[in-house]
Every structure is written in structure tokens, then in C-alpha cells.
């Protein structure tokens, strides 16, 4: 049994916002893969819940007229992995969320829940940062758009304001067009494990595939929130493709990350993993983009 005070079922996004305003202490529940576990453990005893699980208007992947990829916040990990638009334009996101939990978790876990938890180890987080994702939030004043790196405020804390719910994750066309990426999750087990470190890289090469036009690299568990390594990104921009560049790119990530010691891994070990995984993900991304190394 779950110890809850009340369960409210939202019928529309507008209804969900009204319920949030009427019950400001209530917890939003979508797939429930995190919330129900916390309740079972007694961490949310007596909680009020607002279920948005049936809101199909914020489920699924589509493309806006300007080419922006729109991922509804209720889209499950399994749906994202299989979706044709994701496979065509940002396949690495599908590959990243396909490493979350096991099949049961991926069938019910949602991209909105994964980001709204605010945890740095979320498998979607580093890839969404590396692809310049924008969070769409709907509240009493209408729609608010926020870059994902501003949405994460601290460990387990995101910028959800009074009455707001997250309705979509947006990937601008400029952020995915002619870009190819690779995600590496380092964990103690191959499945059903939290990332010790997550690394997502993507590149856009010149027309002749000889130079890096743009590079992105982002990490999970390299700081209290997911983060980009801007120093490495600037270093690679405009440079000829080479293994030497891959090594310099990887070493440069140390300028911007700040992993911590924990029972799962020491700081120095995480730094070592960050450098090695950045190098491997950079090389993989260049090859996916048609470059030769």
C-alpha cells in the first residue's frame, strides 16, 4: 500500500496547472518510476499526488514548422528510442535513454520525469545539454521557454515555478542539423544501475569532412548538475580532424568539470573516466559524421 493523502487526475494541461495552483504541495506523477518508489520507502508519506499520466497532448515526438524537434514530456524512454524522428536526427538521445534501468522502467519512465527530478545522473541529461535542449514550461502566465542548463538549479532542484508543469523538451534545428553524437555511460553494471559518469559528445564537420565546425560535450555526475565543458568545445571548433585533436579535446574537459568523491567512485577516478570517455565519444562522433581518424 502507498501512504497518500489524495490523488487528483488532471484532464488537460490547463487542468494540471489549476490543480498545481490549488494544491501547491502536491507532487506531479507521470510514469511513477521514481515517485512510487520513494513513497514505498516512506519518503513521501501522506503526499498529495497530481497525475498527468493521461495527457496525450504532451506525449510523443513531432517536428514544428521551423524544424524544432518537440519531445512531449510524457514520452516514455522506449518511445523515444524507437521514434523515427529521433532515429533520423538525434539517434544518440534514443541510445542514451535506452540505458536507463531495465525494459519495465523504460516503458513507463518519461523524459519529463527524468529531467524534473533534477539529478545529475539522469541518462537523458548530458545528451540534452549537449544538444542545446530548451525546456517548455506551462503555467498560469502561459508558456515559458528555458535553456536546459538554466533549468537545473542544483542537486535535485529545478526551476519549476508556482503552478507550472513541464510540457515539452525542444531541440532547435540548428542544434541537430548535420550533427552526429555518441553517449557513453560508465556504471558498475551493464543494466539497472545509476551512472558513475555519463558523457555525451556531438560534432558537426565541414563539407569535406576535414575540420570540426562545431563540437559539444556534456557530462552527468561531473558536478552537482549536468554540465557542458565549454573549454573543450572552443578548443575543437575550426580545427582539423585528428587523433591529436581528440586527445587535446578530452584533456580540456578537466577545465570545466568538478566531480566529487562518493561511495560509488572517487573524484580522481571520475576525472580519469571523463577524459577517456570524452576522447572515445569524440572519435565515435567524428566517424559517425563521416570523418576519418
pLDDT-derived band at 195, boundaries 50, 70, 90 = confident
Q: Do 26 and 163 touch, CB atoms closer than 8 A?
A: no
pLDDT above 80 (res 83): yes
Assess whether pLDDT exceeds 90 at residue 167: yes
pLDDT of 87: 97
What mean pLDDT comes out for the span 270-276?
96
Q: Quick one: average pLDDT of 257-271?
A: 89
Across the range 117-132, mean pLDDT stands at: 93
Count the Cβ atoms, other than its own, within 10 Å of residue 283.
21
Residue that wins the pLDDT comparison between 162 and 189? 162
For residues 62 and 42, the model is more confident at 62
Percent of the chain past pLDDT 90, that is, above it, reads 79
pLDDT digits (tens, 9 = 90+) for 90-116: 999 999 999 987 888 888 899 999 999
**Mean pLDDT of the chain, nearest integer:** 93
Q: What is the spatial distance between Cα 176 and Cα 160, in angstroms, rounded to a whole number?
A: 26
Unique residue bearing C-alpha cell 572552443: 234
Q: What is the phi/psi pair of residue 105, to 5°? A: -65, -45
pLDDT confidence of residue 1:
60
| Residue 62 pLDDT greater than 90, yes or no | yes
pLDDT exceeds 90 at position 42? no
pLDDT: which is higher, 181 or 40: 181
pLDDT digits (tens, 9 = 90+) for 16-26: 999 999 999 99
Residue 192 has pLDDT above 90, yes or no: no
Cβ(184)–Cβ(198) under 8 Å? yes
Amino acid at each position: 500500500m502507498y501512504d497518500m493523502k489524495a490523488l487528483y487526475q488532471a484532464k488537460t494541461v490547463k487542468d494540471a496547472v489549476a490543480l498545481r495552483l490549488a494544491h501547491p504541495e502536491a507532487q506531479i506523477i507521470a510514469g511513477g518510476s521514481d515517485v512510487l518508489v520513494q513513497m514505498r520507502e516512506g519518503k513521501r508519506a501522506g503526499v498529495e499526488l497530481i497525475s498527468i499520466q493521461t495527457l496525450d497532448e504532451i506525449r510523443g515526438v513531432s517536428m514544428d514548422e521551423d524544424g524544432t524537434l518537440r519531445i512531449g514530456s510524457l514520452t516514455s524512454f522506449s518511445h523515444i528510442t524507437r521514434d523515427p524522428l529521433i532515429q533520423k536526427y538525434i539517434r544518440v538521445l534514443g541510445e542514451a535513454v535506452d540505458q536507463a534501468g531495465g525494459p519495465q522502467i523504460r516503458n513507463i519512465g518519461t523524459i519529463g520525469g527524468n529531467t524534473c527530478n533534477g539529478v545529475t545522473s539522469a541518462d537523458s541529461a548530458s545528451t540534452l545539454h549537449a544538444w542545446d535542449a530548451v525546456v517548455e514550461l506551462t503555467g498560469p502566465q502561459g508558456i515559458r521557454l528555458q535553456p536546459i542548463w538554466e533549468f537545473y538549479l542544483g542537486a535535485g532542484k529545478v526551476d519549476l515555478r508556482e503552478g507550472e508543469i513541464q510540457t515539452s523538451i525542444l531541440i532547435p534545428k540548428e542544434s541537430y542539423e548535420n550533427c552526429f553524437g555518441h553517449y557513453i555511460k560508465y556504471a558498475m553494471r551493464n543494466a539497472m544501475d545509476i551512472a558513475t559518469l555519463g558523457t555525451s559528445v556531438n560534432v558537426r564537420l565541414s563539407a569535406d569532412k576535414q575540420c570540426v565546425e562545431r563540437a559539444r560535450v556534456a557530462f552527468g555526475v561531473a558536478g552537482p548538475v549536468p554540465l557542458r565543458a565549454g573549454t573543450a568545445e572552443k578548443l575543437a571548433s575550426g580545427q582539423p580532424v585528428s587523433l591529436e585533436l581528440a586527445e587535446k579535446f578530452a584533456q580540456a574537459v578537466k577545465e570545466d568539470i568538478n566531480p566529487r568523491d562518493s561511495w560509488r567512485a572517487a573524484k580522481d577516478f571520475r576525472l580519469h573516466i571523463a577524459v577517456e570517455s570524452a576522447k572515445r565519444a569524440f572519435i565515435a562522433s567524428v566517424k559517425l559524421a563521416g570523418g576519418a581518424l
